[in-house]
Chain A
């Protein structure tokens, strides 16, 4: 099956620093990747949609300048949390679809990474 990895799995940083999280599709090309945030005992909140070679599309209420997304290749997307604060502490999950990027009904499965636990002190 399709595999999506994330690195690091867990990171602890000081307030004010920046943290980069990588999301890789290991055995398929992912035109589109998604970044989610999961709060304790809550559902996943879509933060942004990342398309290879173009700017990410952010959901309403998500700060573009704080959560920088770069989809540099068909197998790699990165999320950088800039000037992190304790309220940014969360579980960040990426996912990827193995599609041609066509517009239409989203019947293709999303494959999720294992997540990255960010703790900002």
Chain B
């Protein structure tokens, strides 16, 4: 079945460091890929998405490129801030509206 695998956290970085959170997927067909962020005490918010191969989603300095050849959708940010501390979820969906989520990666950014 469809699945999403994320790197285990927590990831701890200093402010202004480069961030990469790995995400790979297994899916039949051609899924859409998403990154969601959950700040402490809040619900999930869509961070970015890509709907087809080679698409790049970007928002708030975060980027992720849909790589069909490596079945990956890694999240990157060039310079993280303390306010980026949150849990990041990679997700996919295919021919239905069901989302498959990864287990989430907790990011902690230190000042």
Name A residues whose Cβ lies closer than 8 Å to a Cβ of B: 4, 6, 32, 34, 41-44, 46, 49, 93, 95, 97, 99, 103-115
Contact = CB atoms under 8 A, between A and B. Distances in A.
A97 B43 contact: no
Contacts of A99: 97
Contacts of B44: 44, 93, 95, 112
Interface of B: 30, 32, 34, 36, 42-46, 49, 51, 89, 93-99, 101-104
Contacts of A34: 97-99
A106 B101 contact: no
Contacts of A97: 97
A91 B49 CA distance: 25
Contacts of A43: 89, 101-104
Interface of B is mostly: loop
Contact of B95 (A42, A106, A109): A106
A99 B96 CA distance: 12
Contact of B43 (A105, A109, A114): A114
A113 B36 CA distance: 13
Contacts of A104: 95
A59 to B, nearest CB: 9
B101 A107 contact: no
A67 B95 CA distance: 26
